[in-house]
Chain A
Amino acid sequence: MRKAWSLFFLAAAVVAVAACWAAPGMHWWFPQKSPGGHAVSPLGNQIDDLFYLILVITSVTFIGTQAMLAFVLWKYEAAPGRRSAFTHGSHSLEVIWSVVPAGIMLFIALYQMDVWARYRIQSRFDPYAFEHPIAEVTARQFEWRIRYPAPGKTLQAKPQPDDLYTVNDFHIPLGRPVMFQLRSDDVLHSFFLPHHRVKQDAVPGMTIPVWFESTQTGEFELVCAELCGWGHYKMRGQITAQREEEFQEYLKKLSQSQFDDGVLAANAAGAQQAPAGEEKP
């Protein structure tokens, strides 16, 4: 039983490290849509890089301190006739373990600034995306309402008669930064795209510009990440990233179906049938 406590604390640390090591293989890691669970946006990949940087620093610290803890518990377990060292501390050690972590923390903080600035500081936004927001996303209990400008027009702050609307279904073009305006109609919500590493609260009374870029086509989940009431768990939307042409085609179709009053469609059908009818005789 001697040394058992040292081993007990050591075991906890070893299991923790092993769990993290095994996590990606067990799918207990970043959500996977692409091989290896890479983010599907350029900024997302930078965020992941910063995450891994901190992970390395903290892992080294974790392993070091836990090993040290296990070591002192092993080595200095009470024994009959032993007496502790009589020391009240060491000035030089205090200096070292203040200055070194301070340097590391300062480095981490400064190193992170740029990615944050790119994500949120408006002067760093892509100018084209900033001037041509593709949609306004309005959160409300418990759905996402998307308002696109009509094809060829730019989004206005006030809803326009030819605006296009969808619910919980947000299409974006691939391969370029897209910006949208985020609002809320009632309570706080949060716009969260786990695969793109995008998150922004939707705040009642505020309109917040958010941009991201998808590097992969397909459908991705849109999650509400801020408690918004009893139905918070089901406030699920979907992002569809499409090639530019498909996206424009989608908007056109959307516009057609939205403004289909039966007459337009009949006219279109009639126009198609009329020439055919003329040719027949």
Chain B
Amino acid sequence: MSTLNPAHPLGHAHSGDDAHTHHELSFVRKYVFSTDHKIIGIQFLCTTLLMLMVGGSLALGVRWQLAFPWKTMPIIGPLLFSSQGGVVPPEFYTMLFTMHATVMIFLVIIPILAGAFGNFVIPLQIGADDMAFPTLNMLSYWFMWPAIGFFMSSFFVEGGGAAAGWTSYPSLSAQAAAAPGSGAGQTLWLMGVTFVGVSSMMGSVNYMTTIINMRAPGMTLFRMPTTIWAMFITAILQAFALPVLTAAGFMLLMDRLVGTCFFTPGGLIINNAEPTVGSGQILLWQHLFWFYSHPAVYIMILPAMGMVSDMISTFSRKPLFGYKPMVYSLSAIAGLGFIVWGHHMFMSGMNPYLGMTFMLSTMMIALPSAVKTFNWLGTLWGGNIQFTVPMLNSLGFVSMFIVGGLSGIFMAAVPVDIYIHDTYFIVAHFHYVLFGATMFGVFGGIHYWFPKMFGRMMNESVGKVHFVLSFIGFNCTFFPMHLLGVAGMPRRLADPYNYPYLAHLLPMNQFMTYSAILMGFAQFLLLGNFFYSMFKGKKVGRNPWNANSLEWTAPSPPGHGNFDILPVVYRGPYEYASPLVEEDFLPQTRRLTPEQMAAVKPPATAH
């Protein structure tokens, strides 16, 4: 209860009835406008899972057009475009991929990692009773909803939703005449992004403060689980990168609404409109956008890396290999992440010397990623591996992160990027990182912390089927994209087969679309399992996985205030298979007597 004002004078001035509600919060205060980090985390999780289905449907629309160009699109076609025989027009296609990326990045991946897992896990793993600023935390969730509202309503305005790509490069995004989606839809898009930004910023401030100030006694920085480290570093990244995007968004809004010309050079005649005036720079937007959006790529994966490290150590029943190198490499990724944004702009016409420096820094950022991968393999080596659902998804993470990491080297190399830039090779790469790695990490995290959230287990068999179908569907959808990229197929074409040299790639695209449909339907298993298990899953105790970190010493689910016994931390979170104890795990809070400590000599092999 520490998060509520304990001595509210008004509350005591009223009758005893008021004192009652003080403890028994009303439904609305408890589950809707809650300030409890766990409820907020679960709210974020449910919202983002819903948005995952929205973003997935948009992706299937894209896939349909690529597999069956200009054929009646199921459901959407007859509903919206019956006058054209259910065929979606090309401007609708450009809106589909723009909004797919927008929803997935701003409404799924960023909020599911920081919002859902960050919220739920941070106080529990550091032994705090809540976040530092519970009200701010509540606001960070509710600021998502205006953003969702703006994005969703943009589908219904004249010209439809934003269609300039999620990168929103001007002039397409700056001039209303440039495309149907560049009108009100683009304005709503920018406002939506602003609200997402404010929401993330509130979360970020909260996470940093909480992690710095509210750790349990004994929880030194280097006793924090890697999930906490990753969330901490991500919050710092957010805090430093996000203002740039927000400012750039405002500048673009000004260009659109009040006639400034930050991003508008003069003399452009767009779609027979009046020539533009001014002397703005198109490349300025790209620099500002990627100054945020490259770090955002890491905002979208670092938390998953931390979570996966926790899960792999737990289910290998073995200490995390190279804990400190893991932490240092997270920091290195975050630091280097600020000086590599130009690798998105090799072909943009910026000074070619910059291409060289950005290539060098980008190659160097592959290094910490390699270190992390080797350490995950090192953790598995010599372990006692339990193939639980969280573990399988974490292994999927490692397996696919390797692919995404290696394909990144191709595009980091500027000369090679001349050819593969803006082709499907890029699409393959970032889906391997953001879906193959991050989303599988998220799937793992959902199964891993579900018992803590609801006191019940998710169904193991359904979880395994979901993993297998998702993994197969994912790889069959996205691996061929590397080959499409090598074959020179550009992204964002409504009908690539218009080009004779791409015409023979249609069957492969159809195969990918079938795989995507399989993968899409597999997500219903996850949703079904999630909501069914919430009420009907097998009940479990505090520590179903025999894990070490603090959240597993709290009740499942933890009550308001989290811990019934104030946790005191004696060691790091990864003491699995310790020779000091009989069991193969040694919780951070378990106090050993000096006799117990001396009873077993550390084996000679350990170092």
Interface residues of A (CB under 8 A from B): 5, 8-9, 12-13, 15-16, 19-20, 23, 27-31, 44, 46-47, 50-51, 54-55, 57-58, 61-62, 65-66, 68-69, 72-73, 76-79, 82-90, 93-94, 97-98, 101-102, 105-106, 108-109, 112-113, 115-117, 119-121, 141, 185-188, 190, 192, 194-195, 197-201, 203-206, 208, 221, 223-234, 236
Contacts and interface: CB of A to CB of B under 8 A. Distances in A.
Contacts of A57: 409
29 contacts: A5-B395, A12-B471, A20-B482, A28-B505, A54-B413, A54-B416, A62-B406, A66-B399, A69-B380, A78-B387, A84-B318, A86-B318, A86-B606, A88-B321, A89-B319, A101-B366, A102-B364, A109-B413, A115-B415, A120-B355, A190-B347, A190-B422, A199-B418, A201-B349, A206-B283, A223-B499, A229-B91, A230-B91, A233-B495
Given A87-B319, A230-B94, A69 B501 contact: no
B122 to A, nearest CB: 24
A193 to B, nearest CB: 9
B179 A230 contact: yes
B418 A119 contact: yes
A36 to B, nearest CB: 14
A273 B464 CA distance: 88
Interface residues of B, number: 121
A232 B501 CA distance: 17
Contacts of B381: 72, 76, 85
Contacts of A208: 349
Contacts of A192: 422, 488, 490
Contacts of B169: 187-188, 226-227
A72 B359 contact: no
Contacts of B163: 230
Contacts of B364: 102, 105-106
Contact of B265 (A85, A205, A223, A226): A205
Contacts of B94: 227, 229-230, 232
Given A102-B364, A197-B419, A230-B163, A87 B349 contact: no
A29 B486 contact: yes
Interface in B160-207: 163-165, 169-172, 175, 178-180
A23 B480 CA distance: 10
Given A58-B409, A93-B378, A225 B90 contact: no
Contacts of B164: 227
Interface string B482-514: 111011101111111011110011001000000
Contacts of B501: 31, 194-195, 221
B271 interface: yes
Contacts of B407: 58
Interface in B563-606: 574, 576-579, 584, 602-603, 605-606
A68 B321 CA distance: 15
A78 B479 contact: no
B270 A187 contact: yes
A197 B418 contact: yes
Interface stretch (B23-31, B32-40, B369-377): B369-377
A208 B349 CA distance: 7
Nearest to A29: B486
Nearest to A200: B347
B402 interface: yes
A274 B536 CA distance: 102
Given A85-B318, A89-B375, A47 B418 contact: yes
Contact of A186 (B271, B398, B468): B271
Given A85-B381, A116-B414, A230-B163, 11 more contacts: A31-B501, A51-B419, A87-B607, A109-B413, A112-B359, A112-B415, A115-B415, A116-B359, A141-B271, A201-B347, A225-B421
B382 A229 contact: no
Contact of B270 (A89, A115, A186, A230): A186
B318 A28 contact: no
A16 B74 CA distance: 31
B281 interface: yes
A86 B581 CA distance: 12
Interface string B394-417: 010011001100110110111110
A16 B471 CA distance: 13
B44 to A, nearest CB: 31
B383 A79 contact: no
A204 B268 contact: yes
A100 B452 CA distance: 41
